[in-house]
Structure formats: C-alpha cells, structure tokens
C-alpha cells in the first residue's frame, strides 16, 4: 500500500525532472493519482514511465505554449503544443468553463496533445461551477468496427459529470468498447482466458485469448457483435474520434499516435497534429435555475438507487463505484502492483527521486 500523497509527491517530482513547471507537474500528478484513487489503475501512475518514454522520444514538450487558435462565443480550438494531455486537458476545460459563463455553453476541441488520463477528471472540473461537464478523447487504434478486421478506433471514452444537490455528482465515464484494454492486460499477466465477447481474433472470430489484440485481433465495440448492437458502440467511438480528431485538426482513426508501446514510438502523423480531445461545459442555469435542477437530480438519483435489484446486487449510480473506491484508498492507501512499483523505482533511480512506501 502506498499513500496517495506519497504517489502524488513522487509523480510530481518526476514531471519536474523532465522539465515541467511546478504548477504543471503538480496538476499532472494530481490527474494521474486521481485515477489510482478511483480504481482506474491502468490510467494512473502505471502510465508514468510511458509519459517519460514519450518525453524521451521527443513526443512530449514539457514547456508547452498552449494556445487558442480559433474561437467564437461558445467554441474554441486549442493547440496543445505537444504538452502533456494531463495539463492540456484542464487548460482546455477551463476555456470551456469561461465560454459557458458568458455564452451559456463552451465547447473546446484540442489538437496536438497527448494522452490526458481519465476523462472523468476533466468533466468533473465543470461540475464545481454548477455546470454539466463533458470530456472525450480518442486513442491509438485497438478496436475493430463491426465486421472489420482492421483496428481503426481507440477505446475512445466519454465522461459526463452532472452535479446534484445533496447527492454526489453523477459521473458517467466509460470507454466505447465492451471492456477497457487494461482488463485484458490483467488477465494476460495472470495467464488466464478472457470471456467471449471482449475481443476478436485475427479472422474476426470471438476469442478467449487474452493476447488476441497483440496477435492480429482487436477489441470489439460496446455491444460485442452486430446482433447485440456493436454497430452502436462503433458509432459512439466514431463520434468521439470525429469530435476529438477531425473537428480539432488532430489525427483520427488509424492515424491516432500510439501512447508509448515499444515498437510504436514513432508517431505516424499522416492526417493532422498529434492526439485530440473534446470538452464541453453547459451552465445549468442557462437552462433552468441551478437549485431546481440539482434538487431534481437528487430525485433522479434516489429513485434509481432505490430500484428493486436482482438478488445480492444493488442498482448503482454512475460514479458510485469510483467514489467508494476513492474513500477506501484515501483511508487505506493504494495497492500498487509489484511490476508498477518496480518501474517507478527505476524512474526514481534515474532522476534521483525517492518513493516513500
């Protein structure tokens, strides 16, 4: 178990060591560790060595000049100048929030960025201002559209945060695939099979091989197969890709640069600049009085939580599991798995930073 504070301090010092400003290093560390706290271990400090590898290969600029390159009263396009997505994301969300203050809503497309951590972190930033927050990003291609053998889409997550009055903020944050790739990696490490319906093999058939995606196969869209609606998950992933990539001037589809997988370090930037994201902020009182809205959100949440459930289960509100995990990990520490601890210690050695366990 490692405390969130220890992980955050260590991560911040690593980002400082590669040349980030103090405020950027602090922010980037906060985004990463919030993933660990919320139980999204695949998007937390486990990725820190990956960000450093991106830096080593010149794909991250630790001192970016993030700029608005085009804007209207309710929109902006932002060039991330190859900055950490962990820093570009909150910067862009702040622009969306400012636009919403005056225009009612704000919508920001970002290009020339990198992996931005968990989408939910960014969406939540708007909820603190009595706004509905939205964040989405595309990612390197791991997903085959319905009937495709080619991997053309990333796991392309969407997050929507909606504030309530006395209930906690509603936060839906999900990939547009049947499962996140991190779930396959966990079973790979254990040498176990995956359930049918998560991935396809090189011929497009359902498979239980946890290594399928590395062996010519692909993740499948949410819905799993055509009969169960995979064309809908494909449509959702496509929308995220178009908003994040085509609207912003970033890459898109199979051209989205990889994160930091060995052998894929050269970004194949054929159609745009870097990775893209899309953010939105809608001021609640641009629609109806915020207090009235939030009271109705309480009613919504309470009705769903009180639903009659199948034996031994309960109906959860989007965001509940992550919030419960965060409370637990703040109290008891974060169980970082051994290979990740090892990779962090190696980073620490390289940069002369100590990880307090």
* 189-218 residues near a second copy, rule: CB under 8 A: 195, 197-198, 203-204
Three-state SS at 185? helix
Which residues in the 12-71 window bind a second copy by CB under 8 A? 70-71
Among 23, 191, 227, 331, binds a second copy (CB under 8 A): 227
Smallest separation, CB 315 to a second copy (Å): 5
The C-alpha atoms of residue 348 and residue 338 are separated, in whole angstroms, by 15
Smallest separation, CB 135 to a second copy (Å): 13
Smallest separation, CB 114 to a second copy (Å): 20
Contact 161, 127 (CB under 8 A): yes
| Closer Cβ to a second copy, 51 or 243, answer by number | 243
With a CB cutoff of 8 Å and minimum separation 6, the contacts of 42 are: 35, 180, 181, 182, 185
Q: Is 124 in the site for a second copy (CB under 8 A)?
A: no
Evaluated on CA atoms 340, 343, 347, 349, the torsion sign reads positive
- Paired with 279 in beta bridges are 108, 135
Contact 120, 159 (CB under 8 A): yes
Contact 81, 64 (CB under 8 A): yes
Smallest separation, CB 63 to a second copy (Å): 26
The C-alpha atoms of residue 87 and residue 64 are separated, in whole angstroms, by 9
The stretch near a second copy (CB under 8 A) out of 17-25, 115-123, 244-252, 330-338 is 244-252
Contact 175, 184 (CB under 8 A): no
Contact 115, 47 (CB under 8 A): yes
Which residues in the 89-108 window bind a second copy by CB under 8 A? 102-105, 107
Cα-based distances in Å from 52 to 3, 28, 139, 243: 22, 12, 18, 28
| Closer Cβ to a second copy, 265 or 290, answer by number | 290
| Closer Cβ to a second copy, 225 or 343, answer by number | 225
Which residues in the 252-291 window bind a second copy by CB under 8 A? 252-254, 271-272, 282-284, 286-288
> Taking the mean position of all CA atoms in its chain, how far away is CA 220?
18
Among 53, 129, 231, 323, binds a second copy (CB under 8 A): 231
- Paired with 108 in beta bridges are 76, 279
The region that residue 197 occupies, defined by phi over 0 for left and psi between -120 and 50 for alpha, beta otherwise, is left
Smallest separation, CB 311 to a second copy (Å): 8
Chain length of the chain: 357
Smallest separation, CB 292 to a second copy (Å): 8
| Closer Cβ to a second copy, 61 or 105, answer by number | 105
Smallest separation, CB 255 to a second copy (Å): 9
The stretch near a second copy (CB under 8 A) out of 13-21, 35-43, 72-80, 340-348 is 72-80
Among 46, 175, 199, 347, binds a second copy (CB under 8 A): 175
Q: Is 149 in the site for a second copy (CB under 8 A)?
A: yes
Which residues in the 293-332 window bind a second copy by CB under 8 A? 293, 296-297, 299-300, 303-304, 307-311, 313-316, 318
Evaluated on CA atoms 164, 168, 173, 178, the torsion sign reads negative
């Amino acid at each position: 178990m490692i405390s969130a504070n220890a992980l955050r301090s260590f991560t911040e010092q690593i980002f400082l060591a590669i040349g980030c400003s103090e405020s950027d290093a602090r922010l980037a560390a906060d985004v990463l560790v919030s993933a660990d706290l919320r139980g999204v271990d695949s998007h937390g400090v486990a990725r820190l060595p990956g960000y450093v590898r991106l830096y080593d290969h010149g794909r991250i600029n630790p001192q970016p000049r993030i700029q608005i390159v085009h804007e209207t009263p309710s929109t902006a396009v932002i060039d991330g100048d190859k900055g950490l997505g962990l820093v570009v994301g909150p910067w862009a969300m702040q622009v969306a929030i400012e636009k919403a203050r005056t225009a009612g809503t704000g919508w920001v497309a970002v290009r020339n960025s990198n992996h931005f951590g968990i989408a939910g972190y960014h969406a939540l930033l708007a909820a603190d201002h009595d706004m509905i927050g939205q964040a989405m990003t595309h990612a390197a291609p791991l997903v085959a559209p319905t009937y495709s053998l080619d991997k053309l889409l990333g796991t392309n997550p969407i997050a929507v945060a909606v504030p309530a009055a006395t209930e906690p903020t509603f936060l839906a944050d999900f990939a547009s695939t049947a499962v996140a790739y991190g779930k396959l990696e966990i079973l790979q490490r254990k040498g176990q099979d995956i359930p049918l319906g998560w991935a396809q093999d090189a011929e497009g058939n359902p498979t239980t091989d946890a290594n399928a995606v590395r062996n010519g196969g692909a993740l499948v869209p949410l819905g799993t197969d055509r009969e169960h609606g995979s064309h809908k998950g494909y449509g959702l992933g496509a929308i995220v890709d178009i908003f994040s990539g085509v609207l912003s001037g970033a890459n898109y589809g199979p051209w989205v640069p990889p994160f930091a997988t060995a052998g894929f370090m050269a970004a194949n930037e054929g159609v745009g600049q870097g990775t893209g994201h899309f953010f939105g902020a809608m001021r609640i009182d641009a629609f109806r009085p915020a207090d009235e809205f939030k009271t109705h959100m309480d009613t919504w949440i309470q009705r769903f939580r009180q639903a009659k459930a199948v034996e031994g289960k309960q109906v959860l509100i989007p965001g509940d599991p992550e919030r419960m995990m965060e409370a637990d990990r703040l109290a008891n520490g974060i169980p970082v798995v051994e290979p990740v601890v090892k990779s962090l210690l190696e980073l620490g050695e390289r940069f002369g930073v100590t990880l307090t366990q």
